[in-house]
C-alpha cells in the first residue's frame, strides 16, 4: 500500500513538473517572439508596414466597389430615360408615316414600313389599331383581328409593364377624325 502511495505521489509530482515545463516553454516562446522583434527591427517594420498597406488597399477597394455600384445604378437610370426618349421620338415619326400611308389607302406599303422598322430598330412589335381597338396591321401575324387591352389616349403615352417591356401608345389622327392607334412595343 505504501508502494502505491509513493507511485501516486510520484505521478502527481511528474504532472506538476510537466506543467511547470510547459509554462516555462510558453514564457520562452513569448520571450522568443519579442526577442525576434528586437533582433530584426527592419524586418518587423517592413512586415507591419506591409500589413498596414494591405489593410488600406482592401479598404480602398471596398470604397471603389461601392462607388462603382452607385455609378452603375445612376447610369442604368439615365440609359432607361434616354431609351424612353428615343422610343418617343421614334414614335412621332412613325405616326406621321403611318398616317400618310393610311390616308392614301396604301396598306401594302404600310406593312412593309412596319416590318422594316422592327428589323432596323430595337422594337419587337408594331400594331396599328382601328378606332374600335381591333388590330388591323401587325408585325406579328397572330395579333391581327385581336383586341388588346390598351388605354384610349389622346396623346402619345409610354407604358411599362411588370415584365419590363415598354409600349408606346400613340393616336393616329386624320384631318378631323381619329384614324386609329399605333402601338410600338420594345
Q: Residue 11 has what pLDDT?
A: 67
Residues 35 and 115 grouped into a single domain: no
Residues 47 and 84 grouped into a single domain: no
Q: Which of 46, 67, 175, 183 is nearest to 117 (CA)?
A: 183
Q: Residue 97 has what pLDDT?
A: 87
Q: Is the pTM of this model over 0.95?
A: no
Residues 142 and 179 grouped into a single domain: yes
Q: Which residue has the cell 508502494?
A: 3
User: Is 107 within a domain?
Assistant: yes
CATH at residue 152: 3.30.450.20
Question: 26: domain range?
Answer: 2-62
User: Is 174 within a domain?
Assistant: yes
Residues 43 and 103 grouped into a single domain: no
Distance CA 133, CA 152 (A): 9
Residues 54 and 89 grouped into a single domain: no
Residues 118 and 53 grouped into a single domain: no
User: Is 73 within a domain?
Assistant: no
Mean pLDDT, 10 residues at a time, the chain of 186 residues: 59 72 66 76 89 94 93 90 84 87 86 87 86 85 80 81 82 85 86
Distance CA 113, CA 108 (A): 9
How many structural domains does the chain have? Answer: 2
Residues 47 and 135 grouped into a single domain: no
Residues 90 and 169 grouped into a single domain: yes
Residues 42 and 112 grouped into a single domain: no
Amino acid at each position: 500500500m505504501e508502494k502505491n502511495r509513493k507511485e501516486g505521489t510520484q505521478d502527481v509530482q511528474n504532472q506538476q513538473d510537466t506543467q511547470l515545463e510547459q509554462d516555462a516553454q510558453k514564457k520562452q516562446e513569448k520571450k522568443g517572439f519579442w526577442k525576434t522583434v528586437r533582433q530584426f527591427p527592419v524586418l518587423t517594420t517592413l512586415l507591419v508596414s506591409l500589413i498596414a498597406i494591405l489593410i488600406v488597399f482592401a479598404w480602398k477597394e471596398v470604397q471603389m466597389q461601392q462607388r462603382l455600384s452607385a455609378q452603375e445604378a445612376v447610369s442604368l437610370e439615365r440609359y432607361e430615360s434616354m431609351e424612353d426618349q428615343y422610343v418617343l421620338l421614334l414614335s412621332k415619326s412613325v405616326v406621321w408615316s403611318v398616317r400618310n400611308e393610311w390616308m392614301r389607302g396604301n396598306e401594302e406599303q404600310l406593312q412593309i414600313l412596319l416590318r422594316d422598322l422592327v428589323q432596323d430598330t430595337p422594337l419587337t412589335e408594331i400594331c396599328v389599331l382601328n378606332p374600335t381597338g381591333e388590330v388591323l396591321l401587325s408585325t406579328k401575324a397572330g395579333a391581327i383581328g385581336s383586341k388588346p387591352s390598351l388605354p384610349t389616349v389622346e396623346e402619345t403615352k409610354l407604358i411599362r409593364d411588370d415584365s419590363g417591356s415598354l409600349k408606346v401608345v400613340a393616336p393616329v389622327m386624320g384631318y378631323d377624325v381619329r384614324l386609329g392607334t399605333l402601338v410600338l412595343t420594345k
